[in-house]
Amino acid sequence: METLRAENVAKRYGNKQALDGVTISAESGLITAILGPNGAGKTTLIRITMTLIHPDRGKISILGKDPFMEKDVFKRVGYVQELPNLPPFLSGRELLELSARLKGVERGDVKRVLELVGMTENADRKIAKYSKGMVQRIALAEALLGNPELLVMDEPNVGTDPILNLKMRDVLNELIKSGTTVVMTSHELEEVRKLAHRVIFIYRGKVFFSGTTEELVLRF
Ligand code: ADP
Ligand code: ADP
Distance 89 CA to ligand 1 centre (A): 26
**pLDDT value for 49:** 98
Ligand 2 pocket test, pick from 9, 12, 44, 183 with the greatest ligand atom count within 8 Å of Cβ, gives 44
Of 5, 3, 157, which Cα lies nearest the Cα of 80?
A: 157
Report phi then psi at 51, rounded to 5.
60, 20
The closest residue, in CA terms, to atom 23 on ligand 2 is: 13
Is pLDDT at 163 greater than 80 in this prediction? Answer: no
| Residue pair 185/33 in contact by the 8 Å Cβ criterion | yes
| Interface predicted TM-score of the whole assembly (ipTM), two decimals | 0.77
Half-sphere exposure of 43 (CA within 13 A, CB side): 10
Which of the ligands is closest to the CA of residue 12? 2
The closest residue, in CA terms, to atom 25 on ligand 1 is: 13
DSSP codes of every residue in 160-218: G-HHHHHHHHHHHHHHHHTT-EEEEEES-HHHHHHH-SEEEEEETTEEEEEEEHHHHHH
The closest residue, in CA terms, to atom 5 on ligand 2 is: 41
Q: Which atom of ligand 2 is nearest to the CA of 38?
A: 4
Amino acid at 180: T
Reported as a pLDDT band with limits 50, 70 and 90, residue 220 is: confident
Q: Which atom of ligand 2 is nearest to the CA of 14?
A: 25
Distance (Å, whole) CA 79 – CA 219: 31
Reported as a pLDDT band with limits 50, 70 and 90, residue 217 is: confident
The closest residue, in CA terms, to atom 22 on ligand 2 is: 13
What sign does the CA torsion over 113, 119, 123, 125 have?
negative
The closest residue, in CA terms, to atom 12 on ligand 2 is: 18
**pLDDT value for 157:** 79
